[in-house]
Amino acid sequence: MSQAVVIVDTNVVVSGLLTRDPNSPPAAILDAMLDGSLRFIVSDALVAEYVAVLSRPAIARLHRLSAGEIDRIVRAIVLSARFVTPDAATDSAPDRGDQHLWDLLDSVPGALLVTGDAVLRRSRRHARVLSPAEFLESRRKAE
């Protein structure tokens, strides 16, 4: 069975870096992004959001990574990803700040959004929007 193409929300990347549990779903997803075993897509807007959020002072105090280390991690993510220049989605995201994720979902048929954001998971697109744990469970079942 072919693996679904995934959009990994910034909150999953941040959680994967911050967790002390290497077996947590966000850590497993981030590891899969970095080792190339996950088929995922990014856009310029999503990559910019990864950098911006990881660089926020409150987040930086938690992960204690330098700007250079953040850059290396994001570059490693980008090297494993497929870049997509999305068209505008046919509907609005529940949160305007997440419109770039909706645009990606509309641009790649069958893509799944993996997010820790409950508002996005409760959306009309709920079948294509999964929590990290739900995504890993569906991936295990598909193998």
Q: CATH no. for residue 29?
A: 3.40.50.1010
13 falls within a domain = yes
Backbone conformation region of residue 43, classed left if phi is above 0, alpha if psi is from -120 to 50, else beta: beta
Using an 8 Å Cβ cutoff, are 40 and 5 in contact?
A: yes
1 falls within a domain = no
pLDDT score for 142:
85
pTM for this model (two decimals): 0.94
84 falls within a domain = yes
pLDDT score for 50:
98
119 falls within a domain = yes
pLDDT tens per residue across all 143 residues of the chain? 467 899 999 999 999 999 989 999 999 999 999 999 999 999 999 999 999 999 999 999 999 999 999 999 999 999 999 999 999 888 888 889 999 999 999 999 999 999 999 999 988 666 799 999 999 999 998 87
pLDDT score for 1:
43
pLDDT score for 107:
92
Residue 48 structural domain: 6-142
31 falls within a domain = yes
18 falls within a domain = yes
Buried b (16+ CB within 10 A) or exposed e, 69-102: ebeebbeebeebbeebebeebeeebbeeebbbbb
How many domains is the chain built from? 1
